[in-house]
Structure 1
């Protein structure tokens, strides 16, 4: 995908489709996980055909793999996630909305790109 020529809404649609194509075992394709100081998962970056795609939780949710949302979909639902490519145009904000059980957060695209390039597997926010 040519990021410079793709409108943000189209880019996010393609990123969502790329994540869906990874299937239920998308965790096998994770290259980076972002956690808060209490070890809640805030976001993950996946290797997809569209390039690195970030999936961010956007609010308080479960605190572990066995927690279930009220809708019984568990952690597999993408409905309440912010999904976008890690790369964006120079005219877009560097910050991405995210959150966990501790509350709302923001993530930096540049820091995510550096962590992926540095082959980090887990980043803990401070």
Structure 2
């Protein structure tokens, strides 16, 4: 995929399709995981057919295995995911939306690219 000529909407569609190709056990295939100070995994980077793809949780999520799933008034899930290629054009924001039970977090696309290139396995936010 040529990032410079692909629209952000199309790029995210291709990234989502590439992540779905990883199957139901995709968490085992993560090359890089991002954790908040409390240890919640809030994002992961996966090597895919479209290149590195970042998947971040953009909702508050639950605090444990006995919590109820967050559901909006119209039946839509509040704990949704943001999926995009790790690479983007120079005209896009560096911030990647994410969050966990602790609250919203800001992720830097540039820092994730550097961590992925350095083959780090875990990035702990401070």
**Bin of the TM-score, shorter chain as denominator length:** 0.7 to 0.9
Q: Are positions 1:61 and 2:58 aligned together?
A: no
TM-score for the superposition, normalised by structure 2 = 0.88
Distance 1:121 1:10, change over 3 A: same
Q: Does structure 1 conserve the Cα–Cα contact (< 8 Å) formed by 2:62 and 2:70?
A: no
Structure 1 gap ranges (5+)? 72-76
- 1:39 maps to 39
Structure 1 residues 65 and 46: alpha-carbon distance in aligned structure 2, compared to 1, 3 A threshold: farther
Please tell me whether the aligned partners of residues 45 and 55 of structure 1 are also in contact (alpha carbons under 8 angstroms): yes
Distance 1:88 1:70 in 2: 31
Unaligned runs of 5+ in 2: 72-76
Change (3 A) 1:70 1:91: closer
SS at match of 1:93: coil
Give the stretch that moved more between structures: 62-71 or 41-50. Answer: 62-71
SS state of the match for residue 31, structure 2? strand
CA shift for structure 1 position 12: 0.3
Alpha-carbon separation, structure 1, partners of 2:2 and 2:67: 38
C-alpha distance 4-65 of structure 1, shift in aligned 2 (>3 A): farther
Where do 4+ consecutive residues of structure 1 move more than 3 Å? Answer: 63-68
Separation in 2 of the partners of 1:54 and 1:66? 27
Aligned length: 120
Task: Work out the CA distance in 1 between the residues paired with 2:110 and 2:47.
Answer: 17
Aligned-residue Cα RMSD (Å) equals: 1.8
Q: Would the alpha carbon gap of residues 33 and 109 (structure 1) be closer, same or farther in structure 2, given more than 3 Å must change?
A: same
When the two structures are superposed, what TM-score results if normalisation uses the length of structure 1? 0.88
Larger radius of gyration: 2
